[in-house]
Amino acid sequence: MLVSGTGTNLQALLDACDSGEIPAEVAVVISNVPDALALERARRAGVPAIVIGRRAVSGAPAFEAAIRRALEAHRVGLVCLAGFLKILSPAFVAAFAGRVMNIHPALLPAFGGRGMYGDRVHEAVLASGARVSGCTVHFVTEEPDAGPIIAQAAVPVHDDDDEATLHERIKVAERSLLVDTVGRLVRYGWSIEGRKVRIGP
Ligand code: GRF
């Protein structure tokens, strides 16, 4: 798992792996932010937690090479970005093609792309007048937030929502979507054809 923040999604996966709901383990947690709470969550669960590239810019070759080495050393089969605030280069994405997924706090293909992260996503949703938002789990390709969609969940937008209340409601949906999706990917395998993801043989 690649993280930069509080790690509530990471926690949901750690718990689901621990309880057997997901028949896999979180092999390593990598953060570019040294004091990310996510690292503490990993350590508490006994999972290797490492900091890489604390001052690195997105796509910096040495930063990405270090991430690749760590993922390979831990024999990672699926890379999950959960609140990871760096954009991975095309070379990195190609090296792990079809094996890197991301969770985005809106219903893609709307409200995604470069610059659409954190509160900006919810700000844009609220400004648009949309009555539903939600979350999207997708495979990562070169273009941010534009890869094949694996699964989505919708949540209502309330009249009195601000960015924080909307994000909180979405985060509840994110945790179950992520656990359910990773569980199915791990159990049944997956294939990608163009923009279509099929889970199962
Ligand atoms: C999530 O809302 C995710 O969709 C977004 O960043 C947030 C990360 O939250 N990309 P957490 O670190 O898992 O608590």
pTM given for the model: 0.96
Buried b (16+ CB within 10 A) or exposed e, 30-63: bbbbeebbbbebbeebebebeebbeebeeeeeeb
Q: Which atom of ligand 1 is nearest to the CA of 38?
A: 12
Specify whether the backbone of 135 is left (phi greater than 0), alpha (psi in -120 to 50) or beta.
beta
> Which residue's CA is the closest to the ligand 1 atom numbered 1?
83
Q: How confident is the model at residue 149 (pLDDT cuts 50, 70, 90)?
A: very high
**What pLDDT score was predicted for residue 201?**
85
Q: Which atom of ligand 1 is nearest to the CA of 170?
A: 2
- Could you give the CA distance from residue 157 to residue 146 in angstroms, rounded to a whole number? 23
pLDDT digits (tens, 9 = 90+) for 40-83: 999 999 999 999 998 889 889 999 999 999 999 999 999 999 99
Closest listed residue to residue 45, CA positions, set 28, 33, 22:
28
104 is catalytic: yes
Percent of the chain's residues with pLDDT above 90: 96
**What pLDDT score was predicted for residue 33?**
96
Q: Which atom of ligand 1 is nearest to the CA of 9?
A: 13
> Are 138 and 108 in contact, with CB atoms under 8 Å apart?
yes
> Which residue's CA is the closest to the ligand 1 atom numbered 9?
83
> Are 77 and 96 in contact, with CB atoms under 8 Å apart?
no
> Which residue's CA is the closest to the ligand 1 atom numbered 12?
7
Rounded to the nearest angstrom, the distance between the alpha carbon of 73 and the centre of ligand 1 is 26
- Could you give the CA distance from residue 65 to residue 14 in angstroms, rounded to a whole number? 26
Ligand 1 pocket, Cβ-based, cut-off 6 angstroms: 3, 5-10, 38, 82-83, 103-105, 171, 174
Q: What are phi and psi of 33, to 5 degrees?
A: -110, 115
- Could you give the CA distance from residue 92 to residue 158 in angstroms, rounded to a whole number? 39
Helix (H, G, I), strand (E, B) or coil at 130: coil
